Structure 1
Amino acid sequence: MFIGRERELSEFDALYRQDRFQLFVLYGRRRVGKTTFLREFCKDKPCIFYSAEQSNDKLNLEKFSARVFSHYGETDLEPFASWEKALLYIHRRQSAERLVLVFDEFPYLAAVSPSVLSVLQHLVDHTLKDGKLFIVLCGSYMGFMEKEVLSAKSPLFGRRTGQLHMKPFDYLTSAEFMPGFSNEEKLTLYGAAGGTAMYLGLVNRDKTLAENIEDMFLKPTGYLYEEPQLLLRQEVQEPGVYNAVIEAIAGGASRSGEIAAKAGEEAAKCLKYINTLCELGILHKEIPFGEKSGSRKTIYALSDFMFRFWFRYVAKNRTLIETGAGGAVWRLRVQPDLSVYMGRVFETVCRDFMLRENAVGRLPFLFTDIGRWWGTDPRTRKQAEIDLVASDGKDYIFCECKWRNEKLDLGMLQNLKDKAALFGERSENARCALFSKSGFTDAVKEAARADERLMLFSMDDLMK
Structure 2
Amino acid sequence: MKFYNRVNELDELKTLSNAAEKKAVMCVITGVRRVGKTELIKEFFKEEDGLYFYVDSSKTSTQLLSEFSGELKERLGLSERLTVSSWDDLFHDIFEYSKKKKVILAFDEFQRFTWIDKTLPFVLQKFFDLNKNDSKIFIIISGSSFGLLKGMFIEQDAPLFQRPANILHIRQFDFGTVCCILDDLGIKGFKDKVELYALFGGIPKYYDLIEDYGVKSADLAMKKLLYGELAPLRDEVKNIMAEEFGKETATYYGVLAASALGKARANEIADYSGVKGTSLGPYLYDLTELLGALKKELPITEDIKSKRARYYLNNQFFKLWFRFVFRKQSEFELGRFDELFAHFQEEKNSFVGRAFEEICRQYLLKTMKFEKIGRWWGKGKNEPVEIDLLALDEKASLAIFAECKWQDKPVAVSDMVAFKEKAAFVDWKYGSRSEKFVFFSKSGFDKKALDFGAENGWLLVDLDGLERAFNEPVHSSP
- With structure 1 as the length reference, what TM-score do the two structures score? 0.87
1:214 aligns with 2:223: yes
Write out per-residue CA displacement over residues 321-351 of structure 1, whole angstroms, 9 at most, x where no aligned residue. Answer: 4555323422x31112111111211112222
Q: Distance in 1 between matches of 2:169 and 2:221?
A: 30
Q: Is contact 1:23–1:162 with CA below 8 Å preserved after alignment?
A: yes
* Equivalence for 1:180: 186
Is residue 272 of structure 2 the alignment partner of residue 266 of structure 1? no
Q: Say which of 34, 38, 41 aligns to 2:41.
A: 38
What's the counterpart of residue 190 of structure 1?
197
- Are residue 288 (structure 1) and residue 299 (structure 2) matched? yes
SS at match of 1:430: strand
Q: Quick check: 1:430 aligned with 2:440?
A: no
Tell me if the contact between 1:286 and 1:299 (Cα under 8 Å) persists in the aligned partners. yes
Return 5+ residue gaps in structure 2 as ranges.
472-478
1:80 correspondence with 2:80: no
The answer to whether the aligner puts 1:63 opposite 2:67 as a matched pair is yes
Rate the CA distance shift 1:417–1:77 in 2: closer, same or farther, 3 A. Answer: farther
Residues of 1 paired with 2:408 and 2:280: CA distance? 39
The gaps in structure 1 that reach 5 residues or longer are: none
Deviations 1:280-318 (A, max 9, x none): 222222221122335332222211111111121122334
Q: Do 1:143 and 1:276's aligned partners in 2 also have CA atoms closer than 8 Å?
A: no
Q: Percent identity over the alignment?
A: 29
Partner of 2:5: 5
The 2-side partners of 1:260 and 1:125 are apart by: 43
Change (3 A) 1:112 1:218: closer
1:336 aligned onto 2:340: no
After TM superposition, the structure 1 stretch with the greater mean CA deviation from structure 2, 223-232 or 406-415, is 406-415
Q: Secondary structure at the match of 1:201?
A: helix
Task: Note if contact 2:300-2:390 (Cα within 8 Å) is conserved in structure 1.
Answer: yes
The corresponding residue for 2:417 is 414
Partner of residue 251 from structure 1, selected from 248, 261, 267 = 261
Residue 324 (structure 2) aligns with: 313
Amino acid at match of 1:311: F
Q: How does 1:48-447 map to 2 (within 5 A)?
A: 48-54=51-57, 57-74=61-78, 76-95=80-99, 97-109=101-113, 113-114=117-118, 116-142=120-146, 144-146=148-150, 148-150=152-154, 154=158, 156-178=160-182, 179-181=185-187, 182-203=189-210, 204-205=213-214, 207-236=216-245, 237-278=247-288, 279-330=290-341, 332-355=342-365, 357=366, 362-363=367-368, 365-367=369-371, 369-377=372-380, 380-394=381-395, 395-424=398-427, 426=429, 428-447=433-452
The answer for the alignment partner of 1:26 in structure 2 is: 29
SS at match of 2:296: strand
- For the residue of structure 1 that corresponds to 2:42, the secondary structure is helix
1:87/1:238 Cα in 2 relative to 1: closer, same or farther (>3 Å)? closer
Partner of 2:32, secondary structure, is: coil
State the secondary structure of the residue aligned to 1:142.
Answer: helix
Larger RCO (alpha carbons 8 Å, 6+ apart):
2
Aligned partners of 1:246 and 1:155: how far apart in 2? Answer: 30
Please tell me the residue identity of whatever aligns with 1:307. F
CA distance in 2, matches of 1:325, 1:222: 13
Contact 1:50–1:102 (Cα < 8 Å) also in 2: yes
Secondary structure at 1:372's aligned position in 2? strand
For residue 223 of structure 1, report the CA deviation from its aligned partner.
1.3
Q: How many residues align?
A: 453
Once the two structures are TM-superposed, the CA of residue 249 in structure 1 deviates from its matched residue by 2.3
Q: What amino acid maps onto 1:285 in structure 2?
A: K
* RMSD of equivalent CA atoms: 2.9
Measure, in 1, the Cα distance between the counterparts of 2:273 and 2:98.
55
Secondary structure of the residue aligned to 1:44 is coil
Q: Distance in 2 between matches of 1:425 and 1:74?
A: 68
